[in-house]
Structure 1
Amino acid sequence: MTTTCTPFPLSIVSELPNRMRLRGRFLRDPDLDPDYLEAILETIPGVESVRLNGRASSTIIKYDGRTETRAAVLGCVQDLPLEVFKGKNDRKSLPSPLNLSVKGMLTLACFFLPALFAAHIALVLSAPVILDGLICLWNKKLKVEVLDAAAVSFSLWRRDYFTAAAIVALLSLGEYFEKISEIKATGLLKSLLKPQTDKIWIEKDGQEIQIPFEEAGIGDRVVCGPGEMIPIDGRVVDGEAAINQSSITGESVPVHVKPGDEVISGSVIEDGRIIFEATHVGAETSVARISKFLEDSLRYESDSQKKSDELADKLVPVTFSLGVGLFALTRNLQKAAAVLTVDYSCVIKLSSPVAVRVAMHTAAFQGVLLKGAQALDSLARVDTLVFDKTGTLTRGELQVTDIFSAQDLDDDQLLGLAASAEKHYAHPVAAAVVGAARDRGLGLSPTSQVDFIVAHGVSAYIDDLNVLVGSRHFIEEDEGIDCSGADQAALAFQKEGKSLLYIARDGNLEGVLGLRDELRPEASTVLAGLKAAGIKKTIILTGDTERTANALAASLPDVDEVYAELRPEDKADIVARLKEEGCILGFIGDGVNDAPALVSADVGICLPTGADLAKESAQVILLKEDLNGLLTARLIALRCQETIKQAFVSAVSLNSSFLLLASLGWLRPVAAAILHNVSTVGIIGYAGMRESQQILNHGQHGKTRK
C-alpha cells in the first residue's frame, strides 16, 4: 500500500498547449528524490518528458496536450506518495549550453582585457563557486566544492584572473558532460517505464467498445489487432496472432499464440488478431511490476556504490591537505591552485551509478529483471548457487510414466483412484495425476473429508473408504501401512530418476505411480557456463528420494551436492547453514515454500512462472522460461563490477599522476583542470559505453525495442 502526503501548494508559472512549468517549494525539500519523482510523472500516460530544477523549485513537463493528461499530472504532483521523500535532493541541474557559451566568451575576454576589467569578470564568474565552498565549510563538510573554491580563490589571490575564470568555465563544462552521461544512463531505465497506451478495446455484449485503461477489470475480453500493444496480462480465448515479446523477455522471435495461451502486457502484436480474457490488471500486470522495480532501482544504492561514495569523500581531504600543505611549504599559489583543481571524487562517485544503471537496462532487454543495484552487486559476488529442483532445473511439468498395482486394481482403476483423491489439490504432482486420468478418459469419483498434508500427501474418503495418496514416508511411517509389496517396482522407477507416488485404501497399499519431470534442455550447458563464470559450488535441493535425486544429478556433471527427501522448512535451514560456512549464496526457486530461502539467501532468483510470493521474495526475476537468463544475469553482473573496478583504477592512476605533475610545478592550474575534466568525462563515458555493448557470445543477444 502506498501512503500519500498532504497536498502540496503548487502554482503553474507558464503554460503552452503541450508544456507546463510548475513551481512548488516542496521541490527544494532536502529529502526529495528527483529521479524517483521524474520517473513517477513520466509513467503517466501522455507525458513525454519531465525536467526538474530543484534550485528554482520548478519542473517542466511536456505532454500530449490532452486535458485528461494535464489533470492527471496536476493530481499526481499534488498528492505524491511518501516514497518520493526518501532520497537526497542533492542533484545539480544541467548547466545550459547558453550559460556555458557565455562563461567561455567571458573567460576568453579575461585574457585580452586590462586587469581592472578582467578582475571584475573573474570575480563575478567565481562568486558562485566560492559561495558553494563556503557553504560546505559552514556545514562542516570537506567536499569537492571546497577544493574548487580554494583553487579559484588562490588564482584570484595571484591576480591570475584568466586562470580563475578558466577554472570556473572548465568546471561547468565538465559538470555538463558528467550530467549528460548520468542523464542518459538514468534515461535508459526510465525508457522501460513508459506506458504505451491509455485506452483499450474490450468486447461487451457482442460489441467492441473503448474504455480507459484504468477501468479494465479481471475477466474483461480485451481485443488487440496488428501493431497494437497488449495492455494487460491475459489468456487468449479467440483468434491467433504472432506477438513480439522483446520489450519484456528479450526474445526477438515472434511467438505464436492461440486460444488457451497466456499473453504478457507490453508485448506487441505483429500479425493476427486476438481476444483475450484479462487475468491481471493495474499494479498486478507484468509491466506495472517491472516499472515498480525499476523505479526503486533509481533510488537505492548497492553496497559497492556506497563504498565508492565513502572512499571518494575520504580522498577530498587528501587533495585539500596536499594543496594547502604545498602552499605552506613553497608559498607558491600556482602550484597549490593546480593541485586543488584535481580531485578523485566526481569520477569515482559517478562512474559506478552510470555503469549500474546501464547494466540494469541491458539486463532487462536480455530478459532479466534486477530489483535494484544491490541485486546486481550481490549476483556478482555469489560463489554458491542452490537450486530447488522442481520447476527450475526441471520443467516442473510432471507426467505419469509408470503404474504398478500391488492388489487387484488394473492401471486405469488405480490411476482413477489416485486422481479422484488428488483432484482438488493445487500441486504439480496432483495436476500430473489428474491430467493423466483425463487423457485416458477416466471418470473421477466423488470425494469427501479431503485433507491436504503439506509435503506429504492427501487423505480423502471415496465410497466411504479412506484413500491416502502421497510419499512413502506419509503412507508407511505416518499412517503405518506396509509398502514393501511395491519395493521392486519402486526401486526400478527410482533408478530411472522418477518420483514415486504411493496409493493406499482402507489400510492397504494399492500401488505406486512413477512420475518423471523432464530436465530442462539448457540446464547442463548453463551449469557449465556458471562454473566458468566463477561459481564454485552448485547444490540441488529436492523432496525426492535419494535414488531419484542422485539419478538426476548424474546427468548434470557440474552439480557438487544434492540434498534429498527435504521438507519445505529444510530449505531455509540449509541456506542458513551454508551462509554460516562463509558461502555467498544465490537461491533459485519458484514455489510458495521457497520464499523463506529466497529471502534468506544473499540473492534470490525466480523464474517467470513462479508463485507470486516467490517473485516478491526474489531479487532477480528471469522473464523467460529459460535458465540461460541466469547465466546472462551473472555475466552482466560480473562485467559491471569489472567496469567499475577499471573506472576506479583509471581514476586513481590518472588523477594521482596529475597531482604529482601539479605538485612539481609541471602543470599550470588551467592545464590541470583540463586534464582532470577530460579524464573524468572519458572514464564516465567509458563506464556507460562498455555496459551498453553486446556482452554475450553464447547465443543470448540484446534486442532493439520496437
Structure 2
Amino acid sequence: MTVCKQRENRIRILHELPYRLRIRISVLHDPAFDPVYLEAVLLNVPGVEAVRFNLKAACIAVRYDGNMQNRELILACLENIPHETFQADIHREPVTDSLSVAINGILAFLTPALPRPFRPPLSWGLALPTLTQGITTSLTEGIRVETLDAAAVGFSLLRKDYFTANIIVFLLALGGYLEQLSEEKTNALLRSLLRPQSEEVWVERDGQEVKVSADEITIGDLVICGSGEMIPVDGEVSGGEALVNQSSITGESVPIHVQPGDEVLSGSLVSEGRIKISARQVGQETTTARISRFLENSLRFKSKTQKQSDILADKLVPVTFGLGLASWLLTRDIRRAASVLTVDYSCAVKLSTPVAVKMSMFSAAHCGVLIKGSHALDALSRVDTLVFDKTGTLTRGILIVTDIFPLENMSEDELLALAAAAEEHYAHPVAKAVVKAARERNLEMLSLSQVDFIVAHGVSAYVEGERVLVGSHHFIAEDEGIDCSAADSLAREIRGQGKSLLYVARGDVLEGVIALQDELRPEAPEVLRQLKHHGIQKIVILTGDHRDTARALAARLDAVDKVHWELKPEDKAEIVRELREAGHVLAFAGDGVNDAPALVTADVGICMPGGADLARESAQVVLLKEDLNTLVAAKEIADNSLEIIQNCFTSAVGFNSIFLLLAMCGVLPPAAAALLHNMNTVGILGYAAMAGKKPPQCFEEGEQACTHP
C-alpha cells in the first residue's frame, strides 16, 4: 500500500463546463501509469458517462451528469488514485489522436504545393517519430514491423520522394488510429455488459451478524468473510486468520496469510479461514476496476492458435525485409524496395485476434456467458468431454427440505434449528435450503460462536457452546466416526425416492437426518443432446450423493455416458485429472467452493451463475443466467471465434502476399502499396469485429434470450 504514498499526485482543474471537467494530473506522466485501469475506476463513480486521456499533456477529460456531489467524488477519486493503477510491467502502445492524424494528412497532401525548400525539413520532421521507433525497435527487439515502416519511409526520403514519404507516414498514423478506435469500441462494449453486480455481505453490528447490501456498508463496520467469499471493502483484519488470494488485484497467484493488523483489498478472495475486517474504504471508493483488470488479464495469456499465428507472422517480417533488400539489389530501384517494405503480415494477424476475442466475449456476455479471454475460447472450442457436478448445474440447485427425522429426544423444529444455525453462513444449495426451511417455520436462529467449512461435504460449528456437525453420511460416519446405523433403514427408503440426506450430529451423537429434494432443470436433457451435436463426445456426472439418488437422475438423461457417486471434492479433481491424462480435452461445470479444485484441474472450468466467489474466480467460463442453453451458446461462440481467427490469418497472408508480389514486380508504387496494406488491415479488423459480434445460431430464433445479463 506504500506505492500510492510514494507518488506525489497534484491535480488542477484547467477548464470546467456544467457537465464536463478537464483536469491536469501530474502522475499521468508516470511510465507505470495504466490509463485503462483508471478509466474503469472513474466509470464506476456515480454520474460519470465518459473519460478521455491526453497523456502527453497529462490531462484527463471527464463527462458527467453535472451533479455537484458526483463532481466532488470525481475529484476525490483523482486525488487518491488507487495504487493498483500503477503497474510496473505494463506495456501500452503510443496513443494516436484524431487531430494529429488529420494534420499529418493535410500536410502530406499539401506537400506537392509547398515551395521546394520547405519540403525536406517538413518531411523529415513528420517522419522522425516513425524513423526513431524503427531504429529503437531494431536495436531492442530485432527486425519487426516498425523496422519495415521506418525503412520504407527512409528509402522514400533518400530518393527525395517527399510526397510518398509523407503519404506513408499519414497512412501509418491513420491505420494506427483506426486500430486504436476498434480496440476502444470493443472494450467499451464489454464494459457496458460487465459492470460489477450488487452483492450482499455479512457484517457485525451490536454483537450480531447481519446480512446487508454491499452499498450499505459504512466506514468502521466489521465485515465478515469466510472461505470462498470475495472481500467487498478495503480495510484491516480485526479478528480471525485466513489465506487470501489477491491474484485478481496484484497478479500474485500464491495466497497470503493474513491475521489481525494486516491490510486486505477489495476484490481479494478468502481461500481458507474466516476473518473480520474493519472497513476503511467502502462503496465506490473500493472499486478496484475489476472490469479493466479482467480485460487485461484475460488477453495477457494468448491461446495456442494465437501463439502459432503470431510466431508465423513474426517470422514473415524478416522475409519481407529480405525481399525488399533483394529487390533493391537486383533492380537498384529504391522506389520498388520501398513498396515491398510497406507490406507486412504482422499487423492484421496480431491485431485481429484480440478484436475477434473481445467481440466474441461481448456476444457471449450478451447471451449470458462470461468467457475469460482467448485461452478460454480456444480451449472451449477443442473440448470433447464435459463433466458436470450434479447439484446446481444439471439440477436447479434450489433444494427443498421435504422431511425431518429426529432420532433422539429432539423435535423436528429443534433439529432443523440446530442444522440451520450451523449452515447459516455456508454458501451452498444444501445450506440455503435448510436455512430457508427454518425461516419459513419462523424458528429462532441459535447463537453461533465458531464455524469451519470442511471441504469434504460438511460443516463443523459451535452452536450455543456445543460442537455440531452437518453433512453427508461419509462426512459424519467415516470422517468423524459417529455411529449412523440407527438411520440406515430410513436412509435406504428415502434414497429410493430420489431424495438426498443431510445428517445432523451434536457432540458424538447423531441427532437426526433431513431429507432434501432437488429438481432437474427442464432444459437439461435437450441441452446435453445439443452439446453432443456440437462436438462433445463424452458427458460425465459427478456427485456426492448416494448411488441410488445418482442413478435415478442419470436415468432421466439419455445423453449421459457415465455417473460417479459418493465423491469428495478431491475425488472430483482426481477423476478430472485422470480423464485429461487419458487424452481428453475436458470442461468441468460446477458452482460451489468445493468445486474449485476440479475447476482449476480441467482444461476449461465452467461456473454456474449462483456459484461461490472462489468458484467464479477459478472458472474460465461463468454462466450469467440460470439457463443451461447458455452453455450451448458458449460452445458455439468458441467454435465461431476459432474460425474467425483462422479466416483473419488466411486473409491477411493471402491478400498481403498478392500486394507483395505486385510491389516486387513494380506494379504498385509505395503509396499505393501502403494504402492497400492498411485498407486490408482495417478490413480484416472490421470483419473480426462484425463476425465476432454475431449472436450464436442457437439464440438467433429467440432474440429475447440474448439480452443484457
Distance 1:215 1:502 in 2: 36
Please say which of residues 466-475 and 607-616 is displaced more in the overlay: 466-475
Say which SS state the counterpart of residue 6 (structure 2) adopts.
coil
Q: What does 1:552-591 correspond to in 2, within 5 Å?
A: 552-591=553-592
Quote how far apart the aligned CAs of 1:532 are.
2.3
Q: Which residue number in structure 1 is paired with residue 95 of structure 2?
A: 93
Confirm or deny: 8 A CA contact 1:294 1:372 kept in the other structure. Answer: no
Q: Which residue of 2 aligns with 1:270?
A: none
- Tell me the equivalent position of 2:295: 297
Q: SS in structure 1 opposite 2:143? A: coil
2:649 matches 1:651: no
Structure 1 residue identity aligned to 2:345: Y
Query: Which of 1 and 2 has greater Rg?
Result: 1
Q: CA deviation at 1:688?
A: 1.0
**Distance in 2, Cα, partners of 1:485 & 1:678:** 74
The answer on whether the counterparts of 1:301 and 1:374 sit within 8 Å (CA) in structure 2 is no
Q: Distance in 2 between matches of 1:458 and 1:337?
A: 72
Greater shift, 103-112 or 319-328, is seen at: 103-112
Q: Which amino acid aligns with 1:183?
A: E
Q: Distance in 1 between matches of 2:451 and 2:141?
A: 70
Q: 1:422 aligns with which of 419, 423, 435?
A: 419
Residue equivalent to 2:634 = 633
- Contact map agreement 1:323 1:337 (CA 8 A) in 2: yes
Residues in 2 aligned to 1:171 and 1:495: alpha-carbon distance in whole angstroms: 72
* Alpha-carbon offset, residue 20 of structure 1: 3.9
Which residue of structure 2 lines up, in the alignment, with residue 16 of structure 1? Answer: 16
- Residues 416-471 of structure 1, C-alpha deviations (whole Å, 9 max, x = no match): 68646634342655765787799899999999999998757799999xxx999865
Deviation at 1:336, TM superposition (A): 0.8
Q: Distance in 2 between matches of 1:644 and 1:290?
A: 32
Deviation readout 1:73-102 (Å, 9 max, x if unpaired)? 3443343333322253432323325x4444
- 1:275 — aligned with what? none
CA contact (8 A) 2:632 2:698 kept: no
1:265-664 matches, within 5 Å, as 292-298=290-296, 300-304=299-303, 308-399=309-400, 419=416, 422-426=419-423, 428-429=429-430, 478-479=481-482, 482=485, 486=489, 494=495, 496-500=497-501, 515-664=516-665
Distance in 1, matches of 2:319 and 2:436, equals 71
Alpha-carbon distance in 2 for matches of 1:88, 1:393? 41
Moved more, 72-81 or 546-555: 72-81
| Residues 1:686 and 2:687 aligned together | yes
Does structure 1 conserve the Cα–Cα contact (< 8 Å) formed by 2:500 and 2:546?
Answer: yes
Measured in 2, the distance between the counterparts of 1:162 and 1:10 equals 44
SS at match of 2:387: strand
* Correspondence 1:673 to 2:670: no
User: 1:41/1:423 Cα in 2 relative to 1: closer, same or farther (>3 Å)?
Assistant: closer
Closer/same/farther in 2, CA of residues 619 and 485 from structure 1, 3 Å limit: closer
1:628 and 1:432 map into 2 onto residues whose CA distance is 25
CA deviations 1:350-369 (Å, max 9, x no partner) are: 21222222222333332223
Percent identity of paired positions between Structure 1 and Structure 2: 50
CA distance in 2, matches of 1:570, 1:193: 34
**CA 1:3/1:624 → structure 2, altered by over 3 Å: closer, same or farther?**
farther
Corresponding residue SS for 1:15: strand
Q: Given the superposition, is the C-alpha separation of residues 625 and 449 from structure 1 closer, same or farther in structure 2, using an over 3 Å criterion?
A: closer
Q: CA deviation at 1:138?
A: 4.2
- Aligned-pair distance for 1:297? 1.1
Matches within 5 A, 1:2-41: 4-12=4-12, 14-17=14-17, 18-24=19-25, 26-41=27-42
Residue 235 of structure 1 is matched in structure 2 by: none
Cα distance change of structure 1 residues 522 and 154 upon mapping to structure 2, 3 Å threshold: same
Secondary structure at 1:303's aligned position in 2? Answer: coil
Query: Aligned AA for 2:673?
Result: A
**Residue 81 (1) aligns with residue 78 (2):** no
Amino acid at match of 2:294: D
**Deviation of the 1:546 alpha carbon:** 2.3
Q: What is the alpha-carbon distance in structure 2 between the residues aligned to residue 524 and residue 180 of structure 1?
A: 44
Contact 1:34–1:89 under 8 Å retained in 2? no
Amino acid at match of 1:335: R
Q: Sort the Cα spacing of 1:135 and 1:434 in 2 relative to 1 into closer, same or farther, 3 A.
A: closer
Distance (whole Å) between structure 2 residues aligned to residue 496 and residue 445 of structure 1: 31
Deviation at 1:676, TM superposition (A): 0.4
Structure 1: how far apart are the matches of 2:83 and 2:473?
Answer: 53
Distance 1:612 1:142 in 2: 45
Q: How far apart are residue 292 of structure 1 and its match? A: 1.5
Cα deviation code 1:525-571 (max 9, x no counterpart): 22222222233322211112223212211211222221111123322
1:414 positional shift: 8.6
**Structure 1 pair 9/453, CA: closer, same or farther in 2 (3 Å)?**
closer
For the Cα contact (< 8 Å) 2:40–2:291, is it kept in 1?
Answer: no
Give the C-alpha shift of residue 155 in structure 1: 1.8
Give the deviation of 1:9 after TM superposition. 3.9
What is the identity, as a one-letter code, of the residue corresponding to 2:610? Answer: T
**Counterpart-to-counterpart distance in 1, 2:450 and 2:23:** 64
Structure 2: distance between partners of 1:376 and 1:665: 42
Give the TM-score of the pair, scaled to structure 2: 0.74
Query: Contact 1:468–1:505 (CA<8 Å) still a contact in 2?
Result: yes
Q: Given residue 90 of structure 2, which amino acid in structure 1 is its aligned partner? A: K
- Matched residue type, 1:12: R
The CA distance in 2 between the partners of 1:334 and 1:650, in whole Å, is: 26
- Measured in 2, the distance between the counterparts of 1:333 and 1:485 equals 91
Q: CA deviation at 1:694?
A: 2.6
Cα distance in 1, alignment partners of residues 187 and 471 from structure 2: 52
Q: State which drifts further: 582-591 or 504-513.
A: 504-513
Distance in 1 (alpha carbons) for counterparts of 2:554 and 2:168:
65
State the distance in 2 between where 1:121 and 1:51 align: 30
Between the aligned partners of 2:602 and 2:179, the Cα distance in structure 1 is 36
Counterpart CA distance in 1 for 2:565 and 2:451 is 28
Letter in 1 for 2:61: I
Q: How far apart are residue 288 of structure 1 and its match?
A: 8.8
CA-to-partner distance for each residue in 1:600-634, whole Å, 9 max, x for gaps? 33333222322333334333332222222222333
Shift of 1:115: 5.5
Shift of residue 677 of structure 1?
0.8
Relative to 1, partners in 2 of residues 1:580 and 1:164: Cα closer, same or farther, differing over 3 Å?
same
Are 1:59 and 2:56 matched, yes or no? Answer: no
What are the superposed Cα offsets for residues 631-685 of structure 1, whole Å, 9 maximum, x if unpaired? 2333223322322221122111111221122122222212211110111111001
Q: Counterpart of 2:419 in structure 1: which amino acid?
A: E
Segment of structure 1 superposing worse, 676-685 or 645-654: 645-654
Report SS of the residue matched to 1:392.
coil
In structure 2, distance between residues paired with 1:695 and 1:510? 52
CA 1:306–1:33 in 2, change beyond 3 Å: closer, same or farther? farther
Q: Any conservation in 2 of the 1:482–1:508 contact (CA below 8 Å)?
A: no
Whole-angstrom CA distance in 1 between matches of 2:522 and 2:528: 11
Shift of 1:118: 4.6
Partner of 1:103: 104
What is the SS of the residue equivalent to 1:12? strand
Asked if the contact 1:632–1:700 (Cα under 8 Å) also holds between the matched residues in 2, the reply is no
Tell me the TM-score normalized by structure 1: 0.75
AA aligned opposite 1:8:
E
Secondary structure of the residue that 1:690 maps to in structure 2?
A: helix
| Alpha-carbon separation, structure 2, partners of 1:117 and 1:585 | 65
Structure 1, residues 61-80: CA drift from partner, whole Å, max 9, x if none?
A: 33345554444334433433
Q: Deviations over 1:94-149 (max 9, x none)?
A: 3325x444433433344466765554543343333223323333445433222111
